[in-house]
Chains A and B, each alone.
Chain A
Amino acid sequence: MPIDIDIAYVARLARIDLSPEELVRFGGQLGVILEHAAKVQELPTDDIPPTSHPLAMVNAFRADEVRPSLDRSVVLGQAPATEDGYIRVPPALET
């Protein structure tokens, strides 16, 4: 059974402005894919720890040393809109 999801909520969380038609299409596709992905639930994993890193490494750090930053012209050159050395964006709705 394809899984039923609140695709509009998910799209908002993911900040992708989908059209109503896209919401329906993606919602349906995701439901089908999730149904298959849910197969993982068949395996009993009560005492199994999760793996988040394939390598068993710990404590990878760097020393507190200052390294050269990017030239500001490069940073601003990449930005779609700038003003007085700042990157400019439309106003925020949420705080």
Chain B
Amino acid sequence: MGVPADLTIRSAGEALRSGELTAAQLLESVLNQAARTEAELHAYLTIDHDGARTAAAAADAAFEKGEDLGPLQGIPIGVKDNMVTDGVETTAGSQVLAGYVPPYDATAVAKLRSAGAVIVGKTNLDEFAMGSSTENSSFGPTRNPWDTERVPGGSSGGSAASVAARSAIAAIGSDTGGSIRQPAALCGVVGMKPTYGLVSRYGLIAFASSLDQIGPFGVTVDDTVTVLEAIAGHDPMDATSFNGPVPAFRTDLDRGVEDVRIGVVPELSGEGIDPDVRQAFERTVDALQGAGAVISEVSLPSSSYALSCYYLIAPAECSANLARFDGVRYGNRVDGSTVEEMMGRTRRAGLGPEVTRRVLLGTYALSAGYYDAFYGQAQRVRTLVARDFATAYESVDVLISPTSPTTAFELGARTQDPLSMYMSDVCTIPSNLAGEPSISVPIATDGSRLPIGFQIMAPALGEQMLFRVASAVEHLAGFEALSAEKVGA
């Protein structure tokens, strides 16, 4: 079998059911991998050894009784630390919540548990999910398993790195402007953002409510689908949760791309894209064409405004979402002689610079006299972005672009210039604004052996087509994932 931590959900599931492996053994393999790699990678903020072992034992007991909860039974999964876990510290990567233990589980986490998954621990992230490199974590950055001098991407850098490094078989993260897809691309794994509303946000510590979505990471597209199947579905605790029928995600996974109409978005695939990335992207486009897809160029004119639009809407919503962190009811309070002083000091001490920047920015964009020109205008531009997508999907089934303009950059390379960091999200942001699903599939490595990701976007609830094309890309690219032994060697 090799190292169990190298298994996919699918192959692990087969081994668990054939008796070749127990869930406890699988977990130990993953925990050993974490023990080997964490000192360098710091993908996790908390590893819940006891909780995970208990869950693995329960999964084994269920297997013995002949109970089959589904493909995630006994599978070690990482959870981004901005999703609350009952009884397990949840920090959102922030000092204001250091030591905070939530009294309830996020719905997505509860669903994983009901499916028999083994929650290994909480993965590192940019503070409150704000960032594109995980360098904004107030507990120290995560390093890229492919090159530990480089970032794993962000904000779900820990989840992406843990899957790439095999210290988790799969993971879940959150994506507001690309925070699943971009780290997936930089870490050479599959990462996907579902249609807005498909996965409950209850228990996801809110960054930008109308953009945030929880989504899966996996080594394969198939694994990613498996995780999504477990966490998707209507939740009465989330009023923005989609209440219609959940698409059948995997139906067309092996159907290939014959006659599928694929649109290349020039605004996201040309200027500013690294030559190696562009080359790998174009090779894959050719391969898709060779496999029978109909390729065309489809413009999304307002996508060049998407970044500006996002950097008004997201901060505005986050400025209100983070107002609750005031030291009154929970969190790390810094005292004051008045409650106003207490709140002001608590927030100054507890919120990091990037978070502070965005809260201030959002507050400004909403303030009297500036609302119309900034936030109000951004909301209208958002409509234009959504309309561009709608028009595009009249002539194509999916849209494609590179996931990230570059491969993993060095730690510290962009931390001095917020704007340069924001540019990391230029390809991923548009589908968040439109609330539509998109996925990153690893296709190649560049000259420095750094992974390159391929982004596919589909219309709302178009996950079936999305995964179909993703699966085809995966087969055509033949990308080789890291193996457990090679990581940290």
Contacts and interface: CB of A to CB of B under 8 A. Distances in A.
A and B in direct contact, judged by CB atoms within 8 A: yes
Contacts of A10: 360, 363-364, 367
Nearest to B382: A51
A20 interface: no
Nearest to B362: A14
Contacts of A57: 197, 240, 242-243
Contacts, number: 175
A66 interface: no
- Interface majority SS on B: helix, strand, loop or mixed? helix
A91 interface: yes
A75 B242 CA distance: 31
B345 A17 contact: yes
Residue among B242, B319, B332, B381 facing the most chain A CB atoms (10 A cut-off): B381
Interface stretch (B41-49, B251-259, B304-312, B466-474): B304-312
Interface of A: 5, 7, 10-11, 13-18, 26, 29-30, 32-34, 36-43, 45, 48-55, 57, 60, 62, 70, 74-75, 78-81, 87, 89-94
Contact of A53 (B210, B311, B312, B433): B210
Contacts of A55: 196-197, 240, 242, 435, 460
- Interface majority SS on A: helix, strand, loop or mixed? loop
B275 interface: no
Contacts of B374: 34, 37-38, 40
Contacts of A70: 103
A93 B338 contact: yes
A62 B435 contact: no
Contact of B382 (A29, A50, A74): A50
Contacts of A37: 308, 311-312, 361, 365, 374, 378
B386 A92 contact: no
B240 A92 contact: no
Contact of B347 (A15, A38, A80, A93): A15
B462 to A, nearest CB: 14
Interface stretch (B154-162, B281-289, B323-331, B479-487): B323-331
Interface stretch (B12-20, B217-225, B351-359, B439-447): B351-359
Residue among B101, B331, B363, B435 facing the most chain A CB atoms (10 A cut-off): B363
A5 B364 contact: yes
A50 B380 contact: yes
Interface string B143-179: 0000000000000000000000000000000000000
B331 A60 contact: no
Given A17-B345, A33-B357, A54-B386, A90 B336 contact: yes
B403 interface: no
Given A10-B367, A79-B330, 6 more contacts: A17-B341, A40-B377, A43-B384, A54-B433, A74-B103, A80-B327
